[in-house]
Structure 1
Amino acid sequence: MSSGFDRFYGVWLEQLRQQVDQLAAAPKPPTTADHHQQLHHLVTKFMNHYADYYRTKALAADRDVLAVLAAPWITALERSLHWIGGWRPTTVFHLVYTESSILFEARIIDILRGFRTGDLGDLSPSQFRGVSELQCDTVREENVITEEMSEWQDGVSDLMAASLDLEGKIGKLGEIVKKADELRLKTVRRVVELLTPQQAVEFLISASELQFGIRGWGLSLSNCPR
């Protein structure tokens, strides 16, 4: 299973790079209806690509959830940052706030003069409120899943019991991993829904650059002489 998903992930990651290039090349800010439609199409295509990853990963988890958690297709650095088989959903909000602050500071003169930049540095009060409320909801859901994982780990002593349903135990782990992945995808989708197409493009590019950056650092570390 791991080798099959390894191949899938390699192709998926390369396609992700291509889609990021398309996002970066799109007209920003959009000045025509066609530009707005183009950005909307690219964002939809990008999100479908993410959904395909989690769909395929769920099938892989059904076959061998332990291999999915071990994730040999990524670097040790990436695995060290994982929360139940992937990135922590609340990371999304730190990224939004960071990018918003950086762009706001860079455009502060224009914003104070009343010019709308339309980028992530120009989030409206209602958008900030929506992001904040979503963050609270996501934290609650994260905590529930973390508690489920803790309970699963606390039952490790049951592995010594002769009557243990090992298949059921592993099946429960698979359910927890899939819940975590569903929360990851749902969180990104809901953040994108709160943003304009231009802001969504900027957010998705930043999230991908973070992913590529961490992977690059991980590959560099793995090649360092010990």
Structure 2
Amino acid sequence: MANEGQPIGRSFSEFFVSWEAQHKIYLDKLLTHQNDTEEDSLKYLVEQVLGHYQEYYQEKSKAAESDVFIMFSPPWFSSYERTLLWATGFKPSMAFQLVKETVGVDLNEEQKRRIAVVREETRRMERQIMRAMANVQESVAAPPFCGLVKREASLVDGEVSEMEKAVEQLKAAMVAVMKDADYLRQHTAGEVLEILSPAQKVKFLAGTSQFWLQSRRLGMERDEQTKMDFQENLLTFFLN
């Protein structure tokens, strides 16, 4: 939960640390129970994991209202993770590749048909969001906004007000894009999960968590290596 008076990047970052730790606990549970046959216990575990994701999106939405810019390049992610971002998160259609890798061989023909329908709907909505993202980028590069930014240090009162209005409009547009993308991520996952059996849901959620955590670990290791290389090169420079 973001604390009043704290910079939003730091407070959400602190939330994210605790959220990630709990996420790892849920992954262990998913892996432990993915071969269980008791459907009620599997359904309860799935509900817990989905509630955990819902908490993330709620906190993210609150944080974006205060500083949406940081959500598009979050410092709590590694450099590698930031290259994977699509409107502040993974691209929704990535879910279908994860379905294929985790439970693809277990799907019956009716499940495959229904997933294909969801995939087409998701791709259509992705295109709409991409157009909205392009409009935001065009507005930033447009002469009125770009000119005000370049002259920011010498703006007079009327132009300052115009600049503030333009920034607020940009923030609102970016928040709208992020929320639409987050809605699509949740909607797509929800539609896919509706099609899967309880056991398949657990395997799919486990695979999704493993993919993200492995990407995160790889990114952190790369950043740490880059930092070590930089320090070594800097030391060599001063010693020579």
TM-score bracket, shorter-length normalisation: 0.7 to 0.9
CA positional deviation for 1:121: 2.0
CA RMSD of aligned residues (A): 1.3
For residue 28 of structure 2, what is the aligned residue in structure 1?
A: 21
Q: Is the alpha carbon distance of 1:27 and 1:182 closer, same or farther for their aligned partners in structure 2, counting shifts above 3 Å?
A: closer
Letter of the 2:79 partner, please give it.
A
Deviation for aligned residue 1:40: 0.3
Counting aligned pairs with the same residue, the percent is 29
Which residue identity lines up with residue 125 of structure 2 in the other structure? E
Q: Which residue of 2 aligns with 1:55?
A: 58
> Which residues of 2 match residues 110-121 of structure 1 at below 5 A?
120-121=104-105
5+ residue gaps in structure 2? 1-7, 149-158, 231-240
Structure 1 CA distance, aligned partners of 2:99 and 2:34?
Answer: 21
Cα contact 1:47–1:189 (8 A) shared by 2: no
1:208 is the counterpart of 2:209 = yes
Q: Residue 135 of structure 2 aligns with which residue?
A: 151
1:29 shift after superposition: 4.2
Q: Which runs of 5+ in 1 are unaligned?
A: 101-119
Number of residues of Structure 1 aligned to a counterpart in Structure 2: 203
Alignment check: 8 A CA contact 1:39 1:198 kept = yes
Distance 1:123 1:29 in 2: 18
Tell me the alpha carbon deviations over residues 81-114 of structure 1, each in whole angstroms, 9 at most, x when there is no partner: 11111100000001112334xxxxxxxxxxxxxx
Structure 1 residues 135-161: Cα deviation after superposition (integer angstroms, max 9, x where no partner): 000000010011001011111123135
1:82 maps onto 2:85 in alignment: yes
Distance in 2 of aligned mates of 1:22 and 1:97: 22
Letter in 2 for 1:15: Q
Under a length normalisation based on structure 1, what TM-score does the superposition of the two structures give?
Answer: 0.86
Shift of the alpha carbon at 1:68?
1.3
Confirm or deny that 1:132 pairs with 2:132: no
Asked whether the equivalents of residues 34 and 203 of structure 2 are also in contact (C-alpha less than 8 Å), the reply is no
* One-letter amino acid of the counterpart of residue 174, structure 1: V
Aligned mates of 2:138, 2:222 — CA distance in 1? 33
State the secondary structure of the residue aligned to 1:89. Answer: coil
Distance, in Å, in 1 between the alignment partners of 2:20 and 2:36 is 27
Structure 1 residue 22 displacement after superposition: 1.1
Q: Larger C-alpha radius of gyration, 1 or 2?
A: 2
- The 1-side partners of 2:84 and 2:173 are apart by 23
TM-score normalised to structure 2 length: 0.81
Do the aligned residues in 2 keep the contact of 1:20 with 1:208 (CA within 8 Å)? Answer: yes
| Distance verdict in 2 for CA 1:27–1:57, change over 3 Å | closer
Given residue 23 of structure 2, which amino acid in structure 1 is its aligned partner? L
The equivalent residue for 1:42 is 45
Shift of 1:190: 1.3
What is aligned with 1:190?
Answer: 191
- In the alignment, residue 69 of structure 2 is paired with which amino acid? L
> CA shift at 1:131, angstroms?
0.8
CA distance in 2, matches of 1:38, 1:195: 16
Aligned to 1:72: 75
Find the counterpart in structure 2 of residue 106 from structure 1. none
